Amino acid sequence: MAALGPAVQAAPAVHTVLIDGMRFIPQTVEVKAGDTVVWRNKDPFPHTATATQSGSGGPSSPAIAPGASWRFKAAKPGSYPYLCTLHSTMTATLVVK
C-alpha cells in the first residue's frame, strides 16, 4: 500500500472586481482567507473600495485612478460591506470564508 503524502492546499486565488458604470461588479465577491482581491477601475474618474466599518479588517483603498487597480489580501473571515467614499451610492460586499 502506498503512503499518502501531506494534503496539498490550493494556492491563494486572485479575484477581480470591476469598477464600471458607477458599480462594483460583482456586487458580492466570496473569497477564502489568504486570497487577493483586485479592484480595476474602468470608469473615467477615481473611486475607492472602503469598508463601511473602519478597522474591521475589510478593504480600505486610496483613490483608485481611472485605468488603475488596487490589491487587497483578504486575511480575516467575515462579511465586509464596502463603498466608494467618493460616490456613496456605490456599495458592495466582500465575504471572506
pLDDT at 76: 93
pLDDT in tens, 59-69: 999 999 999 99
Read off the CATH number of the domain in which 88 is found: 2.60.40.420
pLDDT the model gives residue 36:
98
8 inside domain = no
- 2 within domain boundaries: no
In a domain, 4, yes or no: no
87 carries a ligand binding annotation: yes
Q: Is residue 55 part of a domain?
A: yes
Q: Tell me the whole-structure pTM to 2 decimals.
A: 0.88
CB 14 within 8 Å of CB 51: no
Domain assignment present for residue 75? The answer is: yes
Question: Which residues in the chain show pLDDT less than 70?
Answer: 1-9
Q: How far apart are the first and last CA of the chain?
A: 36
* Measured distance CA(5)–CA(89) in Å, rounded: 50
Give residue 54's pLDDT. Answer: 80
pLDDT on residue 8: 62
pLDDT value at position 56? 82
pLDDT given at position 48: 98
38 found inside a domain: yes
The whole domain housing 56 covers 14-96
Task: Give the count of domains, the chain.
Answer: 1
84 annotated to a ligand binding site? yes
Q: What is the pLDDT of residue 4?
A: 60
**Computed over its alpha carbons, how large is the radius of gyration of the chain?**
16
Q: Is residue 85 part of a domain?
A: yes
Residue with C-alpha cell 483603498? 61
Please give the pLDDT value at position 55: 80
15 is in an annotated binding site: no
Q: Judge whether 25 lies within some domain.
A: yes
